[in-house]
Amino acid sequence: MRSFARFTAITVLAAFAGACATPVPVNTRTVYSDDGVAELMAPEPWYTRPDIGRDASLRLADAGRDAYLLVNAYFPDEIDPMSLEDFAQRVSSPLRDDPENAKLPEPRRLTVNGLPAVEYEIPGTIGDTRLVYLSTAVEGRRAKYHLIAWTSAARYRGNRNAMRTMVASFRESDSRRAATPRTHLSFNWPKRLTSNAALHTKRDKRGEVSDLRLKAVTSVRPSGRNELLVSSRVTSRKMTTNTKDNKKADFMQQLLKEAMTDLPDYVVSADGDFLRIDNLGAYQQRIEAAIMKGLKDAPAAGREKARQLIQQVLSEEALAAMIESEWNNLVGTWTGGSYVPGRNYEFQLSYQSPALGAQEFPMQVTQQLKGHTPCHAGAGAKSCVRLIQTSRVAGADFTRATDRLVRKTVGGAVKVDDVEVVKTYEIVTDPKTLLPYSVQSREVKTVVVSGGGKSQTSKEIEESNTVYSYTKPPG
């Protein structure tokens, strides 16, 4: 008998920001289940999310409104015979805060496109976040279905009608289509591991080019219950630059030395979630001291502006956010995902930078599992998969926030008119463990500024290539 707990692997990725709900858009499209048996109508803000409900046949989210929907199908040969009411209780009970003691609320009986259905409205919790689930069981001709819609308790009243409208549009397809195979991605790092990394980064900032090559050794070991401590040590480094300013070149070399010494450790969960960073305070202070030392001959006003910029852009919070973001781009975002090879998944997430304050900005994300590939030379042809992710942050709010930061820290009469940040990752990784073997990234920052009646557009391009190799864990 198939487990009724498939949906308990739900990962809520959207930030729970307070905002007024917006009306449901009138433009809709048909979204088909990957098992080939069902479909529903989805408004434009709802997109397929490959990183939630891995085993669900339909997985949708409207991150802007913090609302989610999964559909699971249970075919006759997968479950014991039972009434719709019993089925509804069985699949809905695990969603309660206390499944052992709390009773289910009174059900709401309805029909969904002519099919009998039972709905439960259930309060729940993920971590410290209060949620409300709409758990709807539907009796179909081919299978029984469980539709799980949920949102934060704070936004439930504003989202309930939209979620019910989505559920009401569900129907079995007129004819069964061929199922679409998906590839699952699982985080399963060994508790003890040593890896070697070779990194090459090239950065072009308004014509000033720097080239960095380094090698590092990373170790993974247990840290507390169900936690892994990740530590890295740089073993060699070399940076070249085309700057003709010798003092600036020396300053960059000294700063690189401090930045590559005693790197902070970080801790992740056994499920691949980023948890925290250790020993970051001393690291941040050392970076700040190195920058201020390099500016010892600058005017007092310039040094003060530099100090403000460091405290804003390179604060402990900002450094922690950068490390966590890198982990998520390489591993965390993909953990527990399920992808149709070759299919593009487009959705929206929230982006936040400590340097820009507490405000969140919409980030458009495109993901694709391009296909299978060897992990390295000599490995099996399908030992790894190639993952591609592109993110874009732009818009009026993002530009205004960047302009405020520039005016606060740099000053002057320069105004930021437009900002766009586009970042692309191409990752070769083992789908069974999410241990990466190679990572290529490219980030392009485009900034339009004006001042003195003139406008200027500049681009900052950073390209990086990292290759990983692993030694066999002891024992």
Asked if the structure places residue 188 within a domain, the reply is no
Res 5: pLDDT:
38
Average pLDDT rounded to a whole number, residues 194-203:
96
Q: Are residues 344 and 457 in the same domain?
A: yes
In the predicted model, what is the mean pLDDT of residues 21-49? 82
Query: Within a domain: residue 103?
Result: yes
Tens digits of residue pLDDT in 45-57: 899 999 999 999 9
**Domain co-membership, 342 together with 244:** yes
Residue 99: the pLDDT is 67
Query: Which of 427, 438, 424 shows the shortest CA–CA distance to 469?
Result: 438
Q: What is the mean pLDDT of residues 380-390?
A: 97
Q: Which long-range contacts (CB under 8 A, 24 or more apart) does 402-406 make?
A: 402/356, 402/447, 404/356, 405/312, 405/313, 405/355, 405/356
Please check whether residue 454 lies inside any domain of the structure. yes
Rounded distance, CA 131 to CA 212, Å?
46
- 176 & 243 share domain: no
Residues 238 and 266 in one domain: yes
Alpha helical stretches, state H, 154-279: 156-168, 246-259
Q: Show which of 180, 213, 236 is a domain's final residue.
A: 180
Q: What is the pLDDT of residues 432-443, one digit of tens each?
A: 999 999 999 999
pLDDT of residue 9: 30
In a domain, 1, yes or no: no
Q: What is the pLDDT of residues 268-320, one digit of tens each?
A: 999 999 999 988 888 888 888 888 887 777 777 777 777 777 777 788 888 88
Mean pLDDT of all residues in 451-459: 90
Residues 172 and 205 in one domain: no
Domain that holds residue 132: 6-180
Six token digits for residue 427: 């990752």
pLDDT (mean) for 256-271: 91
Q: Is residue 30 part of a domain?
A: yes
Which stretches within 218-299 are classed as H helix? 246-259, 280-294
Total domains present in the chain? 2
248 pLDDT band (50/70/90 cuts)?
confident
- Residue range 356-368, pLDDT digits in tens: 888 999 999 999 9
Q: Pick from 150, 180, 210: which residue ends a domain?
A: 180
pLDDT at 310 (0 to 100): 76
Neighbours of 435 (CB within 10 A): 19
Cβ-contact 312, 330 below 8 angstroms: no
Q: Please tell me whether residues 169 and 225 are part of one structural domain.
A: no
User: For residue 19, what is the domain's CATH number?
Assistant: 3.40.1000.10
pLDDT at 21 over 50: no
Q: Write down the residue that tokens 């818009």 correspond to.
A: 395
Verify that 161 and 225 share a domain, yes or no: no
pLDDT at 70: 98
Has residue 23 got a pLDDT over 80?
no
Instruction: State the average pLDDT for the chain.
Output: 88
**391, part of any domain:** yes
**Do 259 and 347 lie in a common domain?**
yes
Instruction: Say yes or no to pLDDT of 102 above 90.
Output: no
Do 145 and 276 reside in the same domain of the chain?
A: no
Whether 176 and 214 share a structural domain = no
- What local confidence, expressed as pLDDT, does residue 100 receive? 66
Of 180, 203, 235, which residue constitutes the final position of a domain? 180
Examine residue 362 and state whether it is found in any structural domain, yes or no: yes
Q: Which amino acid is at 440?
A: Q
249 and 171 in a common domain: no
Token readout for 219 is 């170790």
Give the pLDDT confidence score for residue 103 in this predicted structure: 83
Q: Is residue 187 part of a domain?
A: no
DSSP 25-76: PS-EEEEE-TTSSEEEEEETT-EE-TTS-TT-SEEEEEGGGTEEEEEEEE-T
The model's confidence at residue 101, banded by pLDDT at 50, 70 and 90, is: low
Are 176 and 197 in the same domain?
Answer: no
Tell me the per-residue pLDDT of 108-149, one tens digit each, with 9 for 90 and over.
999 999 999 999 999 988 878 899 999 999 999 999 999 999
327-344 mean pLDDT = 95
